[in-house]
Structures are given as structure tokens and as C-alpha cells.
Amino acid sequence: MLVAANKTWRQQETYSKPGWVTKPRLMTRATPQPIHRAMPRPAILFVCLGNICRSPMAEAAFRHEAARCGLELSVDSAGTGDWHVGKPPDPRAQAETLRHGLDISSYRARQINSRDFHEFTHILALDQSNLEDLHAIAPADAAAHLSLLLDHVERMEGQSVADPYFGDASGFEETWRQVTLAAQALAQKFRTL
């Protein structure tokens, strides 16, 4: 068998009738081609407990940063609990984001559901407890990658975003600072994909 330029000369494998001449034929071997799978459009879901403070702030910060960077992706937020479903974000969260030029008054709290684990490519928990809850409720065939939001920020890995709910306005400032850092880091990662 001769091999040249990804082609193989091989004796014809059919039988010859008497008096017929069997000639070699050119057999081509399929060249392994790189697999080009269509990369799904990134879809990011931010998840906290009630979806009225941290996760809507993270959603707003990331929407803003993604738009600034020209990224095309889907973004949403949800909570693991159902206490605030249908309600707008906490007025203090609205005030803090508005202070940075972003209006989240139209956002409405919702609870995460099993479809989210298939519709989103990345589900980002705002704290360790949320992440544990997500792992507990994720369907066995979940497609989404689960992680802590601050795992995407250098030197903040493993940390939780501060929960400002039981504090004053300064807590919302700190939450905004953290989710903004995370939004910038995430946008940079998605730009390189």
C-alpha cells in the first residue's frame, strides 16, 4: 500500500473474472477535520436568595458592561426563594444603580426553575449558600455551568457578594462595587471566547 498526500493506493477489492485485468484504484481517506460546533450564544443568569438586591444589581452591572464592550448575549437574574416573586428590586438597590445611571425599576423578581439550567450557559451564584442550593435543584441533565460570581474576579475567588438586605445604604454601595468588578471580569472573559 502506498501512501501519498493523504491518499492511499490499494488493490481493488472486487474479484476478477478470468481475462480481466485488475487495476489499482485511488482510494481517498477522509482527513480528520476539526469539529466546529456552533458555540451557543452565551446566556448568563445571576442568582441570589430573593432576586431583589444582589442579583438584579449584578444583572444591571453586567448588562451595562456587556453593552459597553459590544457583546451579544442574554442576561437575566433570579432567586432561589419565592418570597419576592413579581416584586421590583429593593428601593435601596434601585437607588444605588440609579446613582450609576442604570434604572432597574422595571425588573421583577422571579424564582429559578428547571428550564433555566438548559436555557442559560452560565448560572452565577452570588454566595456559597446560593451555589449549594443550585447544585441541589439542578436537573441531572443540566447544561449550564454553575459557579460563584466572584470566582471570576482575580483575588476574590471563593468569596460571596455582600448581602446588603439587612443593612443600610452603604451595604448597597459595597455590593455595587463587587458586582461591577465581576461584570468587568466576566465581560473580559466573554470577549476572548
Could you report the per-residue pLDDT of 119-178, keeping only the tens digit for each? 999 999 999 999 999 999 999 999 999 999 999 999 999 999 999 999 999 999 999 999
Residue 161 lies in a domain: yes
Task: Choose the catalytic residue: 48, 76, 110, 127.
Answer: 48
* Burial (CB count within 10 angstroms: exposed 0-12, middle 13-18, buried 19+), residue 111: middle
Is 115 a known active-site residue? no
Catalytic residue of the set 53, 54, 90, 133: 54
- CA distances in angstroms from 145 to 44, 129, 148, 153, listed in the order given: 10, 17, 10, 16
Residue 36 lies inside a defined structural domain of this protein: no
Structural domain includes residue 26: no
Q: Which of 76, 116, 133, 163 is catalytic?
A: 163
- 34 belongs to a structural domain: no
The answer to the question of residue 59 being in a domain is yes
Residue 142's domain comprises 43-191
- Per-residue pLDDT, averaged over 82-108, amounts to 98
CATH number of domain containing 148: 3.40.50.2300
Concatenating the DSSP letter of every residue in 9-24 gives EE---S---TTPPP--
pLDDT for 182: 98
The 10s digit of each residue's pLDDT in 55-93 is 999 999 999 999 999 999 999 999 999 999 999 999 999
Q: How far apart are CA 134 and CA 137, in angstroms?
A: 5
| Structural domain total, the chain | 1
108 is catalytic: no
Q: Is 127 a catalytic residue?
A: no
Residue 101 lies in a domain: yes
